[in-house]
A and B are shown apart, each in its own frame.
Chain A
Amino acid sequence: MSQPLFQIRDLEILQTTGDKKSLLAPLNLEIQKQEVFGVIGPSGAGKSSFLKCLNRLIDLSAGLSVRGDIKFEGQSIYQGSIDADTLRVQIGMLFQQPVIFPKSILANVLFAVKHLALAPKSEWHDIAQRALTQAALWDEVKDRLSQPAQQLSVGQQQRLCLARTLATGCEVLLMDEPTSALDPNSTEAIEQLILELKQTHSIVIVTHNINQAQRVCDRLGFIGLRDGMGTLLAQGTLRELMTQRENVAEIDAYLRTTESIRLDT
Chain B
Amino acid sequence: MTNREKSHTKNPSKSDSKSRRKRRLIHELMRLFTGFCVLLSCCLLLGIVSFIVIRGLGALSVDFLTGVMAEVGASGGILYQLLGTLLLLLTAAVVVIPLALGCALVQSVFLTREAHRRNITLVLYLLNGVPSIVFGIVGMIVFVQWFGWGKSWLAGGILLGLMILPTVCVTLIERIQAVPKKYIEAARGLGLSRAQTIRSVILPQSIGGLFTGLLLGLARAAGETAPIMFTATIFSGATLPSGVKESPVLSLPYHIFILAQDSYDPATKAKLWGSALVLIFLVFLLSLLALPARLRIHEEANHL
Contact = CB atoms under 8 A, between A and B. Distances in A.
Interface of A: 55, 57, 60, 62, 85-90, 92-93, 95, 97, 99, 101-102, 111-112, 115-116, 161, 164-165, 168
Contacts of B201: 101
15 contacts: A57-B188, A60-B184, A85-B192, A86-B191, A87-B191, A92-B189, A92-B190, A93-B189, A95-B185, A97-B182, A99-B183, A111-B187, A115-B200, A116-B190, A168-B190
Given A115-B196, A115-B199, A116-B196, A62 B112 contact: yes
A60 B188 contact: yes
Contact of A95 (B182, B196, B200): B182
B186 A99 contact: yes
B19 interface: no
A77 B255 CA distance: 66
What interface size band does chain B fall in? 10 to 19
A112 B112 CA distance: 25
A90 B189 CA distance: 10
| Residue from B183, B187, B191 with most neighbouring chain A CB atoms (10 Å) | B191
Contacts of A93: 189
A49 to B, nearest CB: 13
Contacts of B187: 111, 115
Contacts of A87: 191
Contacts of B185: 57, 60, 95, 99
A168 B182 CA distance: 19
A70 to B, nearest CB: 17
A89 to B, nearest CB: 3
B258 to A, nearest CB: 51
B238 to A, nearest CB: 48
Given A86-B191, A99-B186, A165-B190, 11 more contacts: A60-B184, A60-B188, A85-B191, A88-B189, A92-B190, A95-B182, A95-B189, A115-B187, A115-B199, A116-B192, A168-B190
Nearest to B192: A115
Nearest to B112: A62
Q: Is the interface of B mostly helix, strand, loop or mixed?
A: helix
A110 to B, nearest CB: 11
B145 interface: no
B193 interface: yes
Contact of B191 (A97, A101, A161, A168): A168
A116 B191 contact: yes
B190 A95 contact: no
Nearest to A164: B190
B190 to A, nearest CB: 4
Contacts of B191: 85-90, 112, 116, 168
Interface string B162-198: 0000000000000000000011111111111100100
Contacts of B188: 57, 60, 85, 88
B198 to A, nearest CB: 11
Contacts of A115: 187, 192, 196, 199-200
B192 to A, nearest CB: 6
Interface string B194-220: 001001110001000000000000000
Given A88-B190, A111-B190, A99 B196 contact: no
Contact of B190 (A60, A62, A89, A102): A89
B200 A111 contact: yes
B183 to A, nearest CB: 6
A164 B201 CA distance: 15
A102 B185 CA distance: 15
A96 to B, nearest CB: 10
A89 B187 CA distance: 10
Contacts of B205: 102
B114 to A, nearest CB: 8
A99 B192 contact: no
B112 to A, nearest CB: 6
Contacts of A165: 190
The 3 closest A-B CB pairs, nearest first, are: A89-B191, A99-B186, A112-B190
A60 B183 CA distance: 13
Contacts of B182: 95, 97, 99
A57 B189 contact: yes
A111 B184 CA distance: 13
Contact of A112 (B183, B184, B192, B199): B192
| Residue from B185, B189, B196, B199 with most neighbouring chain A CB atoms (10 Å) | B189
